[in-house]
A and B are shown apart, each in its own frame.
Chain A
Amino acid sequence: MTLDRATPMVKFAGVTKRYGRLTVIDGLDFAIAHGEKVALIGPSGSGKTTVLRMLMTLERIDGGVIWVEGEPLTHVERGGRLVPADARHLRRVRGKIGMVFQHFNLFPHMTALKNCMEAPMTVLGLPKHQAAERAAELLDMVGLAGKKNHYPSQLSGGQQQRVAIARALAMRPKVMLFDEVTSALDPELVGEVLNVIRKLGAEHDLTMLMVTHQMGFAKEFADRIAFFHRGKIEEEGKPEEFFGNPKNERTRQFLRAVLDAV
């Protein structure tokens, strides 16, 4: 399959997710272009985190198809029909995606360096020296060259989150997912993590999807804002437009509420 820039990096087509009788994602259609930076915002329970989790295959979807670079993520095409994919297919497509979590989820029994070396060695089969080199470079990039041999519990929240970003990048993903990555941090540590993300944004090839409550950052950083409400995108647009002139009443309500809180 030949891919051009016009093929979306990620496309949700009629994706539905239910927890029991509760529908959290309701027939979502959503396409993200190569290198695009999209911020997902919305009230809690609106389904924005679920969107990231489905894309990372942490949640099974109940309907629809997620496409990654024109290839179905959880399905394969067989005889013109889409059937559920096996583990090998899932792993191959999932390899294009990396994720950073709200609570870091670093491996507590490994140093910062080892955290970043583990998957490149076990999953990608990188030799040790190469994995160490890559990990050291990335830790340097996130400003933690001096903390290589520290265990997660010896690092501040902001430092841990930066290690987590380096760890995800070590797998060379094409899409990075950020799930409320500053929400668990003390206010004075938020800036250092956002700075790292800004730096990543300069890499035009990396597609980024972030769930965030940092409206200021979303406005400055994202190419597009998507406002979620009850499992659907209620309104989306370029940041200036979205924040400057929101069309939807719910969007206006939400923005008033969060901006008042600041």
Chain B
Amino acid sequence: MMGIRSIAVMLAASLALVAGLSTTEPFRTFMPGLIEGAWMTVRIALVGSLLAVLFGVAAALARLYGPLPLRWLARAYIEIFRGTSALVQLFWLFFVLPDFGISLAPFTVAVLTLGLNVGAYGAEIVRAAIGAVPRGQWEASTALNMTRGQMLRRIILPQAVVAMIPPWGNLFIELLKATALVSLITISDLAFKAQEMNQTTFKTIDIFTLVLLIYLAISLAITIGMRLIEGAASRGLARGRAH
């Protein structure tokens, strides 16, 4: 796996490239609009990722330890949102839900769809990571008379989290890329701004090269962030492994 330093170098290079290009014509004219769009993309990705973690953890715990009806519900949620297209989910929430009397703001629909979609994949990650904690940890906590909840919270999840972080990083990047879909429900994200500018100026190469670099920079930033979180979460566990 690539070291955090080389990723940081790539991030710096792509940012430098964006900054360098943005001082020259014709890139300069597009830059403010694209930055605005990029900010929207980042906000959607952040809120969407947060929701994805919430949905993922909740669905995994419900599926593993919930009462039977809840287990089925979690199972259905995971299968439905993994098994159907994110674009159709987005349209369904945006165009169909209002027919049932529920009209949500475009931003809400965007983060909810992405959160639900990625959360369904995340649920399986959480489930696998919990399953990977050795059975002896459960047994030791039982012998210490902990409740199910105490075991999960204090013993199992802190260990499972370490194993979850790299696959979640992948999902966050998937989510970032999927944010481009929200341009189809009237949100002025990076992809939307790019198309809008392309239609008025026809500077396709310049615009989409810049947009590519901006997406790359955001995704590299996510990778770096996840590496830092991984380092912090595995402090106790990793310390010994090195010895």
Contacts and interface: CB of A to CB of B under 8 A. Distances in A.
Interface of A: 56-58, 87, 91, 94-95, 97-99, 101, 103, 105-111, 118-119, 122-123, 151-154, 164, 167-168, 171
Nearest to B236: A109
A110 B140 contact: no
B84 interface: no
A107 B140 contact: yes
B144 A58 contact: no
A123 B239 contact: no
A115 to B, nearest CB: 9
B236 A167 contact: no
B137 A107 contact: yes
B140 A106 contact: yes
Interface string B206-243: 00000000000000000000000000000011011101
A204 B140 CA distance: 25
B140 A122 contact: no
16 contacts: A56-B143, A58-B143, A97-B143, A99-B143, A101-B136, A101-B143, A107-B140, A107-B159, A109-B159, A109-B236, A118-B144, A122-B154, A123-B147, A153-B241, A153-B243, A154-B243
Nearest to B143: A99
Interface of B: 134, 136-137, 139-147, 150, 154-155, 158-159, 236-237, 239-241, 243
B137 A153 contact: no
B236 A171 contact: no
A94 B144 CA distance: 9
B237 A153 contact: yes
Contacts of B136: 101, 103, 105
Contact of B145 (A94, A101, A152, A164): A94
B144 A151 contact: no
Contacts of B146: 119, 122-123
B13 to A, nearest CB: 36
A108 B240 contact: yes
- Residue of A91, A101, A122, A152 with most chain B CB atoms under a 10 A cut-off: A122
B152 to A, nearest CB: 12
A109 B144 contact: no
Task: Specify the main secondary structure of chain B where it touches its partner.
Answer: helix
Nearest to B151: A122
B130 to A, nearest CB: 14
A123 B153 CA distance: 13
A109 B158 contact: yes
A97 B150 CA distance: 18
Given A58-B139, A101-B136, A153 B144 contact: no
A103 B158 CA distance: 20
B241 A98 contact: no
A151 B236 CA distance: 7
Given A101-B136, A105-B139, A168 B240 contact: no
- Residue of A87, A108, A110 with most chain B CB atoms under a 10 A cut-off: A108
B144 A119 contact: yes
B170 to A, nearest CB: 23
B137 to A, nearest CB: 6
A99 B159 CA distance: 22
B139 A123 contact: no
A105 B137 CA distance: 6
Contacts of A91: 145, 147
A150 B136 CA distance: 20
A123 B240 contact: no
A36 to B, nearest CB: 20
Contact of A123 (B145, B159, B236, B241): B145
Contacts of B240: 108, 151-154
B150 to A, nearest CB: 5
Contacts of A95: 145
Contacts of B236: 108-111, 151
A66 to B, nearest CB: 15
B145 A119 contact: yes
